[in-house]
Amino acid sequence: MDIRTVKYFLAVAEAGSITEAAKALHVSQPPLSTAMAKLESGLGVRLFDRLPRGVELTAAGRYLESAGRRLIAEEQRISATLRSMGEGLEGELRLGVEPMGMWRVVSGKLASYLAEHPKVTLEIMDTAVRDLLESLANGHLDLAVIPVLPEEPLPPLHDTAFAVEMVEELPLSLVAPASWDLASSGPVELADLRELTWILPARVPGARSLSRLLDDRFTSVGGSPDHVVRVPTVQNAASLVAAGAGVSVLSTEMSGPRPGIMPVPVVGGWPDLPLGLVRRADAVLTPVAERFATLFRELPE
């Protein structure tokens, strides 16, 4: 099984038809059909169910589709890295960052990194944690900085295991619409806020650090809020709080100054949110990504 055959297979999987895949690849259909038959024969497993109109992936085919996309992404990165290694540190760094981590921890370190290595091209994805883990597993991202709990290792995703290095902790703050003026009398009791609408990031299986921290904090005052609106990211939560829809919990940096939002001190405060630098356990980082990981550990906030 070589790279070209894997690319052919992925084209067929995407098109759902050998005929359509042949058109997309600009090859004739018979050689492509032969290549797919040889691939199945060599692996000793059926990858496609042949249908009257096209093909459908078997369980083995779906596995090869996922693994093949990671293989192609890695092959492209290896080629690009080898081409640039003789010209100093240059190439592409693809980094995933949970939004709260971007505000305080990552942005300053990225600025220092890019100043030191101006030839590096940077691509940042700041989205929901589940999406970041998906992109890390399929090889689109080199590294990700996300909330994790040291006592709860990240489970594998699509047969991809993750390695986690704890790097920072973020202070958290309760935020409310500025028009509510909740902080006028000083710190508030969390138990008195349970009947409000809370706008919180959606729970992520296997990466539930923020929801776990909030659950534990609410347990200490009698239980979780009665009305919770789940949103993909904290930016969504901040926008809804500013609009007057409810209260939320953000990093201290994101909580202010921000139009329409007022940080509210809470009796007993909030626990800090731990952040981890995550990579695929089986991945060999490019020199560009390895250098960023090193500077991430060394640079102050």
Residue 158: name the closest of 137, 140, 143, 135 by CA. 137
Same domain, 139 and 104: yes
pLDDT for residue 199: 92
Same domain, 286 and 249: no
Same domain, 248 and 183: yes
Strand stretches in the chain, DSSP E: 48-51, 54-57, 91-97, 120-125, 143-147, 162-170, 172-177, 197-201, 227-231, 248-251, 261-264, 273-280
pLDDT in tens, 49-82: 988 888 899 999 999 998 898 888 888 777 766 6
pLDDT in tens, 186-213: 888 888 888 899 998 877 665 666 777 8
CA distances from 112 to 103, 136, 145, 255, 295 (A): 15, 24, 17, 25, 9
Q: Which structural domain, as residue segments, surrounds residue 144?
A: 89-169+275-298
Same domain, 176 and 266: yes
Of 57, 81, 105, the residue that ends a domain is: 81
Same domain, 198 and 261: yes
Which of 128 and 173 is assigned the larger pLDDT? 173
What pTM does this model have?
0.66
> How many domains would you assign to the chain?
3
Same domain, 177 and 266: yes
Same domain, 194 and 255: yes
Q: Kindly tell me the burial class for residue 53, based on how many C-beta atoms sit within 10 Å of its own C-beta (0-12, 13-18, 19 or more).
A: exposed
CATH number at residue 193: 3.40.190.10
Same domain, 281 and 153: yes
Residue 274: name the closest of 97, 185, 150 by CA. 150
pLDDT in tens, 205-264: 656 667 778 888 888 888 888 898 988 877 888 889 999 999 998 888 877 767 888 888
Same domain, 136 and 176: no
pLDDT in tens, 159-186: 889 999 988 888 888 999 988 877 777 8
pLDDT in tens, 5-50: 999 999 999 999 999 999 888 888 888 999 999 999 999 999 999 8
Of 40, 60, 81, the residue that ends a domain is: 81
Of 60, 81, 102, the residue that ends a domain is: 81
Same domain, 53 and 16: yes
Torsion of CA 109, 112, 117, 118, to 10 degrees: 110
Strand stretches in 31-142, DSSP E: 48-51, 54-57, 91-97, 120-125
